[in-house]
Amino acid sequence: MRYPIYRPRRLRTNENLRRLIREINISADDLIMPLFVRPGKGVRNKISSMPGNFQLSVDELVKEGQKAVDLGIPAVILFGIPERKDAVGSEGYKKGNIVAKAVSALKDKVEDLIVITDVCLCEYTDHGHCGVVKKKKGGKDFSIDNDATLELLARMALSHVEAGADMVAPSDMMDGRIGAVRSALDAGGFLDTPIMAYAAKYASAFYGPFREAAESPPKFGDRRSYQMDPPNTDEAIREVALDIEEGADIVMVKPALPYLDVIYRVKQEFGYPVAAYNVSGEFSLVKAAAERKWVDEQKLVIEILTSIKRAGADMILTYHAMEVASWLK
């Protein structure tokens, strides 16, 4: 197609003109802040690979939640770090588990904040896998017991929602988990509680810093039997379709920046609300370069978030959320 002549330069020379033309704006409205909660009081453990992020006890978490609200951030997502880990991650779904406690405190003390909870076994299992492990005799060989895991995930999700969680986000990538969680919530009377599904989650090297933060690196093997292979996008479409069929209300692509094409396809194909997780490794790369003054952090972060939104994401989970919201104020 031949385009009629237009004079873009004129529209770029002036900031007010640029504002009028701009197709995408990043605002605090787009952001979800991930927070880590652990037992104790007055605890604020620095996460060394993720500057500015902490493992927080519930009392400290409440302060962060309030800060998020003050900055205009609509939602936080919680990750729990338990006192003890075991083979089946019992601390993740027992009565009064750490995330349930955190949720009640936030709902009780912070007004106007959506509390989402991550639902997965890996922070609670001693082997660090996202599901129950069936070890094959002798050797390192192992497999994940998908169906035994579903029941535990459903219990975990229900425990969070009973404590007041506004939404749950299963991140384990077991088959059938959205259906299992949906049925458990419905049976518990929580028919209106939405599910954000980590639908297309890749087996990524970008999760490294998170695993320090959540103390959850797998003790053997890796997560490639349940997380997706990075080269595949048709498979992402199938994963998203399944999750939607099982009852997902929001679908997530994770990581974000290396998978913009996936975000784009998912948005085009389904027209569902799409979340993108700008994961720990993406965050830490930027921080490390910024500390060396190799990049302009603010410009870089806004450009990254803009690219994610331009690809089709409606919301972005990012460890930069609080900083970005304060820059935009």
Q: Which residues of 7-45 are buried (b: 16+ CB within 10 A; e: fewer)?
A: eeeeeeeeeeeeeeeeeeebebebbbbbbbbbbbeebeb
Choose one: 36-44, 92-100, 102-110, 114-122; the region binding ligand PBG (CB under 6 A): 114-122
DSSP label of 224: T
Asked if 49 is part of the footprint of ligand PBG (rule: CB under 6 A), the reply reads no
Q: Which of 254, 267, 287, 309 is catalytic?
A: 254
> Residue 89: what residue type?
G
Q: How many residues bind ligand PBG (CB under 6 A)?
A: 12
Residue 19 tokens, joined: 């504002």
Based on CB atoms, which residue is closest to ligand PBG, 57 or 171? Answer: 171
Decide: residue 123, CB within 10 A, 0-12 exposed, 13-18 middle, 19+ buried.
buried
Based on CB atoms, which residue is closest to ligand PBG, 109 or 285? Answer: 285
Q: Which of 107, 135, 201, 293 is catalytic?
A: 201
Shortest distance, position 3 Cβ to ligand PBG, whole Å? 41
Asked if 152 is part of the footprint of ligand PBG (rule: CB under 6 A), the reply reads no
Q: Which residues contact 154 (CB under 8 A, 6 or more apart)?
A: 177, 180, 181, 183, 184
Torsion over CA of 324, 325, 327 and 329, rounded to 10 degrees?
A: 160
Q: How many residues does the chain have?
A: 329
Asked if 171 is part of the footprint of ligand PBG (rule: CB under 6 A), the reply reads yes
Q: Which residue in the set 61, 103, 279, 321 belongs to the binding site for ligand PBG (CB under 6 A)?
A: 279
Shortest distance, position 88 Cβ to ligand PBG, whole Å? 16
Based on CB atoms, which residue is closest to ligand PBG, 22 or 258? Answer: 258
Specify whether 299 is catalytic: no
State the residue for tokens 């003109």. Answer: 17
Specify whether 201 is catalytic: yes
Residues 116, 29: Cα–Cα separation, whole Å: 15
Asked if 322 is part of the footprint of ligand PBG (rule: CB under 6 A), the reply reads no
Asked if 99 is part of the footprint of ligand PBG (rule: CB under 6 A), the reply reads no
Choose one: 90-98, 116-124, 143-151, 299-307; the region binding ligand PBG (CB under 6 A): 116-124
Q: Which residues contact 220 (CB under 8 A, 6 or more apart)?
A: 127, 140, 142
- Binding mask 56-85 vs ligand PBG (x if CB under 6 A, - otherwise)? ------------------------------
Q: Within 10 Å of residue 97's Cβ, how many Cβ atoms?
A: 22
Residue 253 tokens, joined: 């692509």
Helix intervals (H) in the chain: 8-12, 15-21, 58-70, 98-109, 146-162, 177-187, 208-213, 234-246, 260-270, 280-291, 297-311, 321-328
Based on CB atoms, which residue is closest to ligand PBG, 59 or 208? Answer: 208
Q: Which residue in the set 100, 130, 152, 161 belongs to the binding site for ligand PBG (CB under 6 A)?
A: 130
Asked if 113 is part of the footprint of ligand PBG (rule: CB under 6 A), the reply reads no
Asked if 239 is part of the footprint of ligand PBG (rule: CB under 6 A), the reply reads no
Contact positions vs ligand PBG (CB under 6 A): 118, 120, 122, 130, 171-172, 207, 210-211, 223, 279-280
Which positions are annotated as active-site residues?
201, 254
